[in-house]
A = this chain, B = another copy of it.
């Protein structure tokens, strides 16, 4: 359907080869190295090895849409690569330097960063030498409504003074973390979408404390979803991105491609889960019949295939429209995939768990962790209900005089 460009095809084939030759075989090594580490927030050697290999193969920063800094693929070209990476979620995105939230941060630095930001943060990020976080969500309020944000950014001479508490700051516990992009309120009295600003804050700035990691279901993710406390953190004006009051606008620009990536990776996870489901169903016998020959299991496999295919087509369509009409025009479609893809993935993964019996909920298979990850996607970057509101309003508008 969607015509694949020659370069997209080349990257896809190269990435598939990399997955087969390096990533999948590395999964058990990764598990061992992580199990042997003292902390969940460690950087296992295998990941660094994979990064070297990926870069050597030209599979590096594939996400970056600006040709100066990366291959300059369109969203539609990159999306299928994100899906493939999602099949090995712990390894492939980071191995290719395409992991969130570094991807979004790199794009923000590219578009709105100063030369200093580019030198100090963008280059090492593009080199996979450092990690970065994005501090927007707050524990005390429904953050999907940007006007709820409570972090204060008070002007004091040529500086801003930040006070507040953030959480779900991904990468917050990454051993390589160096910098945060922080969203807060510079002017609570401005109009709704001009109250917020985004600032660049080094992780070691005085007053910044990573309080703890949040578990997701019971998982301590390696990169961490940190709670970060900001107490009288002083940020020079030059580190305000794009300008005061531009926070909301940047976040809109930032979230569009990120949601495509999240959704495609979720679809990749779902494909992997379906593969697990099929293999398991082929290998287990219950009351004299292989599970794969039972009509209910067959129904689950078929429903999974249908749900995955539909979610993928919708996400590719959204990517294509972003390329053609821009993030803003494609906004409703992005809300659609944000609702559809995690839901499809959860359905598929849940069925795969059930087919695995007790093993499905344990760490012996990646399924329960996939579930935890996909379940979280229904909440972060805006919960389903907020996206549905966006979609409904656009739909209803057609019929208003």
Interface residues of A (CB under 8 A from B): 1-2, 137, 139, 141-145, 148, 167-168, 214-220, 225, 274-275, 278-279, 281-282, 284-287, 291-292, 294-299, 301-303, 305-306, 309-311, 313-314, 316-317, 320-321, 333, 335-336, 339-340, 353-354, 357-364, 368-369, 371-372, 375-376, 378-380, 383-393, 395-396, 398-400
Measured between beta carbons, the chain B residues less than 8 angstroms from A368 are 215-218, 372
Measured between beta carbons, the chain B residues less than 8 angstroms from A298 are 296, 388-389, 392-393, 396
Task: Check B359–A139 contact: CB distance below 8 A.
Answer: yes
Task: Check B217–A217 contact: CB distance below 8 A.
Answer: yes
**Total copies of this chain within the assembly:** 4
Interface centre among A144, A309, A379 (most CB of B within 10 A): A309
Task: Check B361–A217 contact: CB distance below 8 A.
Answer: yes
Residue of B nearest to A346 (CB): B350
Task: Check B339–A354 contact: CB distance below 8 A.
Answer: no
Task: Check B375–A353 contact: CB distance below 8 A.
Answer: yes
Task: Check B302–A310 contact: CB distance below 8 A.
Answer: no
Residue A279 contacts which of B284, B360, B399 (CB distance < 8 angstroms)?
Answer: B399
Task: Check B363–A379 contact: CB distance below 8 A.
Answer: no
Interface contacts beyond A137-B358, A215-B218, A225-B362: sample of 15 additional A-B pairs, CB < 8 Å, sorted by A: A2-B2, A141-B284, A215-B362, A218-B372, A282-B396, A296-B298, A298-B388, A299-B392, A302-B387, A302-B389, A303-B388, A306-B336, A306-B391, A309-B314, A360-B379
Measured between beta carbons, the chain B residues less than 8 angstroms from A360 are 379
Task: Check B278–A399 contact: CB distance below 8 A.
Answer: yes
Task: Check A357–B383 contact: CB distance below 8 A.
Answer: yes
Measured between beta carbons, the chain B residues less than 8 angstroms from A167 are 358
Q: How far is the CA of A239 from the CA of B2 in the complex (A)?
A: 43
Shortest distance in angstroms between A320's beta carbon and chain B's nearest beta carbon? 5
Task: Check A299–B385 contact: CB distance below 8 A.
Answer: yes
Residue of B nearest to A292 (CB): B396
Task: Check A144–B305 contact: CB distance below 8 A.
Answer: no
Shortest distance in angstroms between A333's beta carbon and chain B's nearest beta carbon? 8
Shortest distance in angstroms between A91's beta carbon and chain B's nearest beta carbon? 18
Measured between beta carbons, the chain B residues less than 8 angstroms from A218 are 215-220, 363, 368-369, 372
Q: How far is the CA of A336 from the CA of B310 in the complex (A)?
A: 10
Q: How far is the CA of A143 from the CA of B148 in the complex (A)?
A: 37
Shortest distance in angstroms between A376's beta carbon and chain B's nearest beta carbon? 5
Measured between beta carbons, the chain B residues less than 8 angstroms from A395 are 274, 278, 301-302, 305
